[in-house]
Structure formats: C-alpha cells, structure tokens
Amino acid sequence: MKTEVLRYEADGLAMIGHLAWDEAASTPRPGVLVFPEAFGLGPHAKSRAERLASELGYVALACDLHGEQRIVSDLDAVRATLQPLRGDPAKVRARTRNALDALATRPQVDATRIAAMGFCFGGTMAYELALSGADIRAAIGFHSGLKVTAPGDAARIKGKVLALLGADDPGITPEDRAAFEAMLRAGRVDWQMTLYGGVVHSFTNPDADKLGRPEVLRYDAVADRRSWNQMRALLDEVFG
Amino acid sequence: MKTEVLRYEADGLAMIGHLAWDEAASTPRPGVLVFPEAFGLGPHAKSRAERLASELGYVALACDLHGEQRIVSDLDAVRATLQPLRGDPAKVRARTRNALDALATRPQVDATRIAAMGFCFGGTMAYELALSGADIRAAIGFHSGLKVTAPGDAARIKGKVLALLGADDPGITPEDRAAFEAMLRAGRVDWQMTLYGGVVHSFTNPDADKLGRPEVLRYDAVADRRSWNQMRALLDEVFG
C-alpha cells in the first residue's frame, strides 16, 4: 500500500488530502472518498483510507475539511467553523465536489466506480455530494449528522445511501432520523439505516474517549467492527 | 447436507419440525432455530434452514407453528389463529421453548451455541424466546412484528438482538420501532435494527407476491440478500 499527499482547491481553501492505494493493482480500481469528522483531517480518517486500500484494494482519498489540514479541537469552535456550511448547499458541496474530481482524475482510479463515505459531519458531506447529483455509487455515513441543506434534492441522488448510527447518539435524534427517512422515501432512493443500541457519537474513533464526554462521544469496538462490515458489504455490492 | 423430520410437543400441539445439518461435520456445531411466517411451516423457512446448514455449516431446525405442519393461507384466519398467542407470554413462549429443547438435545448440536431467528411472526417468536431468559446467543427477526407480550422482561434477554425491517412495512409502524427500541434500551440489550428503504413486508419470501398485495407483502431480492448477510455476520460474531 502506498500513500501520497494530494493537494486540491475547494471552496477557496487549499486542501491537503491523503491518498492511499494498493500499488500491486494492475488495472484501475474503484475510488472511495473519506470525509473526516468535524474536527478536520487527522489520523482517524487517514487510517480508514489506508484500510480501504490495504484491506479492500480501493483507491481512497481522505479529504481535507478546513484547508491546510487544519484541526479544530474545541467543540464550540468546530460548531462555529461549520455554521456557514450548514445552510448553504453550494458552499458545503463545493468542498466535496473538488475532492471527487481530484480522486476521479487519478490514473489508478476507475472514475466510473466511485463512492463517498464519512464520519460525523463528514458523513453529512457524503450525503451532500450525493444530493448534488454527483455520479457516485454510494454515500455512507458513520455517526453522521442527518440534517442536510436541501432535502428537496433527494431525487437527484444517483447512488445508494447507508446511514450507520448510534441509537443513543444525543446529536442525532429520532426526529432527525424520521426526517432523513422521509427525505429518502420522497426521493425514491435505495437507502438503508442501521441503529446500534447503547452506542453514542464517534463510535468508530478510538480517540473519542480523550474528550472525556462518554455520554456524548465514545469509541465502541463492536459497533466499529459491525459498521465497517456493513460498509464493506455495500461497497462490494455497488462496485460489483 | 441432510434433513429429517423432528417431532416435538409444544403448547399442547404435535409439532413437526424440519432439521437440516451438514453430515460432514466431525464435531458438534452451533444450532439455529428458524421460526416461520405466521402462515405456518412451509417451503420458505425449510429452505432457509437448509441454507444455514449447507452454506454455513450450522444445525438448523425449521420449527412448526400451528402443529402438524398446518398451513393457514388466509390472512384473516392467520390473525384469528395467532390472537391467543399475542397477549400470553406463557403460551407463545411454550411454542418456542420446546423447539429449543428439541434442537439442543440433538447429538450434532453444540448446546452452548444456539441462536434463534424468524420471519414475520416467527421473528417475534425469536424475540419472545429471548425475553423468556433462554440461553440463546442471538434473536434475529426478518420483517418481524415488534409487539411482544411482556416488554418488561427485556432485562432477561441474554443474547444479542437484530431486527431487519422494511422501512415501508405497513404492519410495522415507526411507533412500533420506537417502542421496541425503548424496550431494548431499558433492558440494556445489545441490539441492532436495520431499515431497508422502499421495502415492505415478507421481503425474504419469493412467494409473497402470490398474495397479490404488493403494497403490503412483496419479495425484494436486494433486501433479502442484504438481510441474510447481516444475519450471517451476527451469527459469525456470536458463534465465534
């Protein structure tokens, strides 16, 4: 498995992505965009991109969020930083669209077979990319926020949607789930949603516990493994 | 793969089960109870038991429901037949408990590793068996009714629970899902629930379409495959 820095511009920001691929592959391989948690691109999303390459043979791009791989550690600062993206489809989708172009034009990638996934706000970004009508085969969100900028765009979604959620995530309410479900139903999307009981936010991120707020963010090894397996099954399905 | 008729008594009825196992196995294998749809034990649940044996190497018992392998074809008649089971924990669980004993005492079965699954009302029966405190490792329901006789028994559940549901199943409402979720949360159960978008009842049964009510019951090959894979992942997990 090889990695390299992949720079691209998006929404006026200088993005520094992290590309991972299996150099033993002799033909173009499916590509997967990996959008990080709201804090920005760090070890968690990078390591998942590397697993997509080393375990599954995909070309994976862990995407930058805030530009220059900036990490925003404070939860309140994260909220403030993301606020301008939450109500503006053009702005949030601009950060995803150029990542897609950056990945799709890599020589190791089969540009006809691309999916997007993400964690926390990165999952929302995967959904936003799908809502933009982009030609991606799947949009997969792990502990992903379900509030999107323009639910009325659901009919533009071309790929399959999979939401993998902690049932006790205080930031993703039953009302959010119901609204997301209604949006996908109205758009006649092929969608799945899995709830993991007793699980809260950030369940895929071993560093979540460092924040010391286990009632809100907490790593869960079992849900991490189960959700990874569900992601893998859907990627198998859509990439054939 | 071999099959044989397995007779047992339950709730005063003469049950005729269908046992399937891989005769090439040299050591006792995990056992899986398969409870059929509300119509009774027919080709659908039998074929699933055979797949559990031939594809996965488990010893599977497709269980009788109405006694003497009676099939009740009419939906209204089914409802009337099941009514006495819906409010009486002892009665419905009696039909599951003796099936468990019949399977667990087979020489080809490792009695310490047993799970229960079922379709439609059979899924509810798998949950009822778990609620009884039975020593099963998992209870898995496909398009399973979520109304159980005694939700307060949830703390007695020893195994993991997995509900696989059509999001548009008119017989399993969002309110049913919320109540089921609340029950499992209160019981501190390890549970998962997956919703399949655009999918209604009986999505695993190719014969569902024969009833001519596609808005209520309809086979869905994609959801059938996805849910089978999720079942398989959980059985892998709990049987080790």
The Cα–Cα gap between A213 and A196 comes to 19
* Pair type for strands B13-21 and A109-119: unpaired
Alpha-carbon distance A114 to nearest alpha carbon in chain B (angstroms): 20
Do residues B96 and B116 lie in contact, with contact meaning Cβ atoms separated by under 8 Å? yes
CB atoms within 10 A of CB B126: 30
B97 touches chain A (CB under 8 A): no
List of chain B residues whose C-beta atoms are within 8 Å of the C-beta of residue A192 = 194-197, 226
pLDDT tens per residue, range B76-85: 999 999 999 9
pLDDT tens per residue, range B160-187: 999 999 999 999 999 999 999 999 999 9
Give the list of residues 6+ apart from residue A10 with CB closer than 8 angstroms, or none.
Answer: A64, A94, A95, A96, A97, A98, A99
What ipTM goes with this model? 0.97
B179 touches chain A (CB under 8 A): no
Residue A189: closest C-alpha in chain B: B197
Nearest to A194 among B189, B194, B198 (CB): B194
CATH architecture, range A2-239: 3-Layer(aba) Sandwich (3.40)
Do residues A227 and A203 lie in contact, with contact meaning Cβ atoms separated by under 8 Å? yes
The Cα–Cα gap between A18 and A28 comes to 18
| CA distances, A220 to each of A227, B72, B118 (Å) | 11, 44, 28
Domain boundaries in chain A?
2-239
Measuring CA to CA, which residue among B46, B48, B55, B33 is closest to residue B159? B33
Nearest to A189 among B192, B197, B229 (CB): B197
The Cα–Cα gap between A221 and A229 comes to 12
B194 touches chain A (CB under 8 A): yes
Instruction: Work out the pLDDT band at A192, boundaries 50, 70, 90.
Output: very high
The Cα–Cα gap between A120 and A82 comes to 12
Alpha-carbon distance B165 to nearest alpha carbon in chain A (angstroms): 10
Query: Considering chain B, what percentage of its residues have pLDDT values greater than 90?
Result: 98
pLDDT tens per residue, range B87-128: 999 999 999 999 999 999 999 999 999 999 999 999 999 999
pLDDT tens per residue, range A81-133: 999 999 999 999 999 999 999 999 999 999 999 999 999 999 999 999 999 99
A191 touches chain B (CB under 8 A): yes
List of chain B residues whose C-beta atoms are within 8 Å of the C-beta of residue A178 = 174
Look at the alpha carbons of A177, A134, A19, A16 in this order and tell me if their dihedral is positive or negative.
negative
Query: Considering chain A, what percentage of its residues have pLDDT values greater than 70?
Result: 100
- Enumerate residues 216 to 235 of chain A having a beta carbon within 8 A of any beta carbon in chain B: 222, 226, 229-230, 233
Average pLDDT for residues A184-212, to the nearest whole number? Answer: 96
Query: Considering chain B, what percentage of its residues have pLDDT values greater than 70?
Result: 100
pLDDT tens per residue, range B198-223: 999 999 999 999 989 999 999 999 99
